[in-house]
Chain A
Amino acid sequence: MENLKNIIIPANKETPYFPAVEFDYEKGECTLAGESYMEDCYKFYNPLIDWLNAYCEQKKSIVFNFKLYYFNTQSSRMILKIFETLMKFKENGGQVEINWYYYQSDPDMVEEVEDFQRESGLEVNLIEING
């Protein structure tokens, strides 16, 4: 089976509503960073979720880093889909590590992540950063 191509979308100051994306097949590590409030969430996230599904069929472990310091409620629906994909992977024997980085100045984010944990049944490492 051919390896998946990595997805790299760098941050762009002109379009801050799209997060930067780094989905690295060889490293087994995926990162979403920045903000997420684009007009069409499905169009942006569906290809990422398709990639993730294909990845989960081929590999045994994954590290997923969320470095999103703002996302709107429409994006949160897609983030939940990512969690559900990872949960399915775990149920099929995959090893999953999720790290969520949040700013000290955003205590509401902790509650939001706790709700993702509750909704998906997955553990998340909450990592506080200065700022």
Chain B
Amino acid sequence: MAWSINDSSVKLAYKGPFYIDVLSGMAGHLRQMYRLKPITCNRLYKIFFELTQNVAKYSAEMCNLYQHYKYGGIGSFTIEEKNNAIRISTTNMIRAEDASTLMRYCTEINTMSVEALREYRSLKRRPQPGPEDSGAYIGIIQIGIITKNKIEWDIVPLGERFALFTITAKVDIE
């Protein structure tokens, strides 16, 4: 995918393998950037890890260069500040057959109130039998609770076997 960032509203961006140490370093930087707005900063920090660890674990594109990391999913993220809100986006390749499931997850989460999402998180915290026991799903529920906004997403087909999945969470600056 071609990638260029020319917008000054982008505060932090990365493209490559989402190794845990990379994420940890970026998250530390994020904390520093927003340290004067601690409530916003905590929300960003939590959403950042849920989004990026989903990429690390579930991206269809993996980097296995360093064997001591369990997850090396490849993707990109941007953190953009505009109109008194911060938007965190991740983009990664997914298998085409997972697209409809992800669309269903995101649509479902956007129809629910925070209280309903908390109930749902409680349900999903307990391991479920079968394919519905997706760690990615509980991560998206958590994002839905913290963001206090609707989740945005986009899926662009990449040939027959793959697609690009972008998910964005908005945090209002407090």
Contacts and interface: CB of A to CB of B under 8 A. Distances in A.
Interface stretch (B3-11, B78-86, B120-128): B120-128
A18 to B, nearest CB: 10
Contact of B138 (A17, A73, A106): A73
B38 A105 contact: yes
B105 interface: no
Contact of B122 (A17, A37, A115): A115
B39 A16 contact: no
Interface of A: 16-17, 37-40, 70, 72-74, 76-77, 80, 103, 105-108, 111, 115, 118-119, 131
A73 B38 CA distance: 21
B118 interface: yes
Interface in B12-69: 20, 24, 28, 38-39, 41-43, 45-46, 49-50, 53, 56, 69
Interface range on chain B (Cβ under 8 Å from partner): 20 to 34
A16 B24 CA distance: 8
Given A39-B70, A106-B42, A108-B42, A80 B125 contact: yes
B135 A73 contact: yes
B146 interface: yes
B69 A39 contact: yes
A98 B138 CA distance: 25
Contact of A39 (B20, B43, B125): B20
A111 B69 CA distance: 33
9 contacts: A37-B49, A40-B70, A73-B135, A74-B53, A77-B126, A77-B127, A106-B38, A115-B122, A118-B122
